[in-house]
Amino acid sequence: MRIVFLGTPEFAINSLKELYERFGSVFVITQPDKPAGRGQRITSPPVKSFAKDKNLPVFQPQTKLELENLLTELKPDLGVVVAYGKILSKRALDSSSFGFLNLHASLLPLYRGASPIQRAIMAGETKTGISIMLMDEGLDTGGVLSRLEVPIYEEDNLETLSKRLSELGAKHLLETIDGYISGKLKPQPQDDSLATYAPIIYKQETRLCWRTGAKVLKDKVRGLFPDAHFLTPQGERVKVLKATLSELEGEPGEILSKERLIIGCAEGALEITYLISPKGKKMTGREFLNGYRFSYVL
């Protein structure tokens, strides 16, 4: 079977690996190389690095038209999309005999969009999952072939849940492909009235607002790992890696203990147990208090 795979981040690699091991040659399409990190060095997407290591053909179209022309030329039997980062046009979707299957990290129609894992954790959900759908031109609106429910544990953050969903989703993808190609699985329409959305995460969302409840902030720390942060009185950024709820109470932003980094919120208080200091060093909240002396944070 002639398969084309469209994916970009680390999350997509397990699915590509499973397809490679099952079908051998896979045509890989990923996003163009982009500047990344403090030095803004041109960096290849994780999927490209994996594909190159396996000697798979890799394409990085720059425009919608380039992608359409490429897919028309490749004439795949089946397309598989996992976190590619772009919506496919009708012309692109029509290039494949069996269409394009998309692995989406939510229980559709819940959390359609770019950030389903982050948004589910931030909302305090206790379960999420994987949905595999036959793509149409909409935003995650295609008929669903299969779903796999996955619990969200209290200790989960974006990193741990993404890893688990990536691994489970890759295995589930192969089972779904088999069922779809054989005709045993048929796409079932989504109930649009139940749809919720997971828009892209914006930088301004990653700052913790102490005039919010402690539980909301704890889930935000988990969902935005490792980017949730607050500011010192001097305006220095402190990234929060892990936080727990505290029984103490105080004014929003007030540091409530000399022994532990406990910060008052609109409701309750949040204890910061692990963080990255303004100097880029990972440390505990207690270690942070030893080196930074102030009574409140922003």
pLDDT band at 23 (very low <50, low <70, confident <90, very high): very high
Do residue 185 and residue 208 come from a single domain?
Answer: no
Token pair in block for residue 173: 């993808």
Of 194, 211, 236, at which residue does a domain stop?
194
Q: What pLDDT score does 36 carry?
A: 79
Q: What is the rounded CA–CA span in Å between residue 157 and residue 282?
A: 17
Domain CATH code at residue 242: 3.10.25.10
Largest Cα–Cα distance of the chain, in whole Å?
A: 66
Q: What is the rounded CA–CA span in Å between residue 264 and residue 260?
A: 12
Do residue 51 and residue 156 come from a single domain?
Answer: yes
Domain CATH code at residue 43: 3.40.50.170
CB of 166 within 8 A of CB of 130? no
Do residue 26 and residue 163 come from a single domain?
Answer: yes
Specify which residues 149 forms β-bridges with. Answer: 129
296, part of any domain: no
Q: Mean pLDDT over residues 165-184, rounded?
A: 98
Q: Mean pLDDT over residues 243-264, rounded?
A: 96
Q: Domain limits at 232?
A: 203-291
Tell if the pTM clears 0.75, that is, is over it: yes
Residue 37 pLDDT > 80: no
Do residue 166 and residue 217 come from a single domain?
Answer: no
Q: What pLDDT score does 40 carry?
A: 80
Please count the structural domains in the chain: 2
Of 194, 225, 249, at which residue does a domain stop?
194
Q: What pLDDT score does 292 carry?
A: 87
Q: What pLDDT score does 35 carry?
A: 85
CB of 177 within 8 A of CB of 15? no
pLDDT digits (tens, 9 = 90+) for 197-230: 999 999 999 999 999 999 999 999 999 999 999 9
Do residue 216 and residue 131 come from a single domain?
Answer: no
Question: Could you give the percent of the chain with pLDDT greater than 70?
Answer: 100
What are residue 119's phi and psi, to 5 degrees?
A: -65, -35
Instruction: Give residues with Cβ within 8 angstroms of 202, minimum separation 6.
Output: none
Of 194, 221, 250, at which residue does a domain stop?
194
Question: Could you give the percent of the chain with pLDDT greater than 90?
Answer: 95
Residue 39 pLDDT > 80: no
Q: Mean pLDDT over residues 183-204, rounded?
A: 97
Instruction: Give residues with Cβ within 8 angstroms of 181, minimum separation 6.
Output: 1, 78, 98
46, part of any domain: yes
Instruction: Give residues with Cβ within 8 angstroms of 94, minimum separation 6.
Output: none
Residue 245 amino acid letter: L
pLDDT digits (tens, 9 = 90+) for 77-119: 999 999 999 999 999 999 999 999 999 999 999 999 999 999 9
211, part of any domain: yes
pLDDT band at 41 (very low <50, low <70, confident <90, very high): confident
Q: Mean pLDDT over residues 276-293, rounded?
A: 94
pLDDT band at 29 (very low <50, low <70, confident <90, very high): very high
- Three-state DSSP state, 154: coil
What's the mean pLDDT when you consider all of the chain?
Answer: 96
Q: What pLDDT score does 167 carry?
A: 98
Q: What is the rounded CA–CA span in Å between residue 155 and residue 240?
A: 15
Specify which residues 41 forms β-bridges with. Answer: 36
